[in-house]
Structure 1
């Protein structure tokens, strides 16, 4: 069974690459996997990256570059039937780093376009991804509203708070991922479970040093340009210890930043080579580009891509800042692959190790509730 898969907010193809590389053969010799049907993405550079790496065709007509609000989702003749939907709906208004406007922001309501696809096409399942801050936006109301919309579209939900470093990703990247199985299939015994972490012990986490140096990145690798820092920045970095940031006490007074705000930040923060990196992001100005643990420089885009588990031959198209944004906004393929493999095994009735879903909704409405408890709440 090969699932015809559609994507909204496709990004540079993190989810698509995970799908492309996820496949199993069951005990009856039947192959299970995914096949690209269509995708929608707003940014032109990102669309070019997707086409080149996922479809190996810069002229592919099944990737639609337009604002999802203008995308003709109801055009069945053009898009055709689908079996699966993957979408990482925009996180800008749910991130705890921003103003967390939630459903009141410009991006918060965009999840509704995923709901439209679910209602219009009724795929067998969907996978939706967003930041952990989704659970606390609008005092928890946003997350519950989104879950209810997915549930009312005809799906049995398994939301979970994933720590991707527990799944072999060399990065502390924490995300809410919601898997929905169409109700009629759930009643037939197709049950999705949260796959058990592959590296539950912190001692076994893949470190940033391992990710970036094993094997070494060739100097002429794709997207591996170095940043030309000014002399003052290089000198300041020389005083920041491994794992430290711009407010490290070791920085001389004349080199310190005099900026109001939280000192527990990632501004000019060096990696700790013995730990997974902090979260790779795609936005932010000076000082937010992630910094090498010993060399006085920002990471290259290829190094960031390694932390995001993209292979070295994955060519990101566009200028340096465009590429940085694409990498930071992407779903780490290695983490998503664990989830998609669990979906395949669920449909193929192949046993796999799993754990209880725990979204960890730390709001004034819910606290550390289980996936089954969330499912009950959403129905009311």
Structure 2
């Protein structure tokens, strides 16, 4: 029987796409959507449209803090990419003391209620250092003790560019296997993906994106931004480029390296983000413009037929908050192989850079 997956903080469906497309050659070991929840209406509509169009009522648009977790359909697996705002290295890093820090506890609550066989929890690398490391320790402890039997947890800092994803995106992912099951999960080795061309040029240009593709609207760039970008070489940003004085940014204090940073076409992209003002939209290596949302979606390995619902800025946020589809698929396939007893290449878990 397929594993029925429930999701909290589901986002637009990067995790769900990876789960439902995970294939180890045995249909008895597969994953199907059961239900999902997110607080953002456009995000829920995107998820419904692409993941479960035949069952739209299985996606619950609700703030998790007001959402009744007790009457959901049974699940065999849980995924939750709990909000990372308070753990991100870009920001104040309030950790457990922030608005979003304690939201992981709703995932623990679902584990207590439904006792799924396994789970996947995802967050940013900054989670390790929040509250001087005590937040991460507490989260792992709560996950280990969840449910009727507890879970054996395997946290690892996945560097998705090492797995063929055309983007330098580093995320802590915790896999938990219920303790009463004689199953051991291993972190899949990136070695099989070492020879994949994961340059951003290849991701964006091969095959070419049709001009009328969904979510492919161009951003209107001001003449000043166009002039600034024309002085910035691939791989440079607004602070490392040799800019005329009238195009320099008058920014005191921290200089974020991604401000007006142009992609290096021969390398994976830098991290796609979901928010930020001028200068944070990811910039083409050749054309003096920001990437389109469809180009950004390719860097997140969403297929071109994945249609995001909402305004241009809403779609930008959805794409930036997602887990890369292909990265998620690789991890889910490792979980399925663990349960199927199929050996695979693996590495020792590591949460350090």
Preserved CA contact (<8 Å) 1:165 1:205:
no
Query: Deviation digits for residues 11-31 of structure 1, max 9, x if unmatched?
Result: 0000111111113344xxx62
Give the C-alpha shift of residue 198 in structure 1: 4.3
Matched, 1:177 2:168: no
Segments ≥4 residues shifted beyond 6 Å: none
**1:144 alignment partner in structure 2:** 137
SS in structure 1 opposite 2:174?
A: strand
Matched, 1:106 2:99: yes
Matched, 1:39 2:36: yes
Structure 1 Cα separation of the partners of residues 332 and 309 of structure 2: 26
**1:331 alignment partner in structure 2:** 323
Structure 2 Cα separation of the partners of residues 169 and 18 of structure 1: 13
Alignment of structure 1 residues 261-276 onto 2, 5 Å: 261-263=253-255, 265-276=257-268
Preserved CA contact (<8 Å) 1:24 1:31:
no
Structure 2 Cα separation of the partners of residues 357 and 41 of structure 1: 29
Unaligned runs of 5+ in 2: none
Preserved CA contact (<8 Å) 1:342 1:352:
yes
TM-score, L = length of structure 1: 0.90
**2:64 alignment partner in structure 1:** 68
Preserved CA contact (<8 Å) 2:231 2:241:
no
Structure 1 Cα separation of the partners of residues 170 and 290 of structure 2: 23
Give the C-alpha shift of residue 74 in structure 1: 1.4
Matched, 1:300 2:304: no
Structure 2 Cα separation of the partners of residues 69 and 82 of structure 1: 20
Give the C-alpha shift of residue 199 in structure 1: 5.4
Query: Deviation digits for residues 237-265 of structure 1, max 9, x if unmatched?
Result: 10001111111342101111111133351
SS in structure 1 opposite 2:30?
A: strand
Query: Deviation digits for residues 142-201 of structure 1, max 9, x if unmatched?
Result: 00000000001110011001000011100000000000000001xx2x110000014564
Structure 2 Cα separation of the partners of residues 326 and 292 of structure 1: 20
Alignment of structure 1 residues 135-284 onto 2, 5 Å: 135-153=128-146, 154-185=150-181, 188=182, 190-198=183-191, 201=194, 204=196, 206-263=198-255, 265-284=257-276
Preserved CA contact (<8 Å) 1:19 1:34:
yes
TM-score, L = length of structure 2: 0.97
Cα 1:131/1:143, change in 2 over 3 Å: same
Cα 1:80/1:263, change in 2 over 3 Å: closer
Structure 1 Cα separation of the partners of residues 191 and 292 of structure 2: 28
**2:51 alignment partner in structure 1:** 54
Preserved CA contact (<8 Å) 2:233 2:241:
no
| Number of aligned residues | 350
Deviation larger for 281-290 or 242-251: 242-251
**1:123 alignment partner in structure 2:** 116
Preserved CA contact (<8 Å) 2:232 2:262:
yes
Task: Provide the aligned C-alpha RMSD in A.
Answer: 1.3
Matched, 1:315 2:317: no
Structure 1 Cα separation of the partners of residues 241 and 331 of structure 2: 42
Unaligned runs of 5+ in 1: 363-380
**2:6 alignment partner in structure 1:** 6
Preserved CA contact (<8 Å) 1:168 1:199:
no
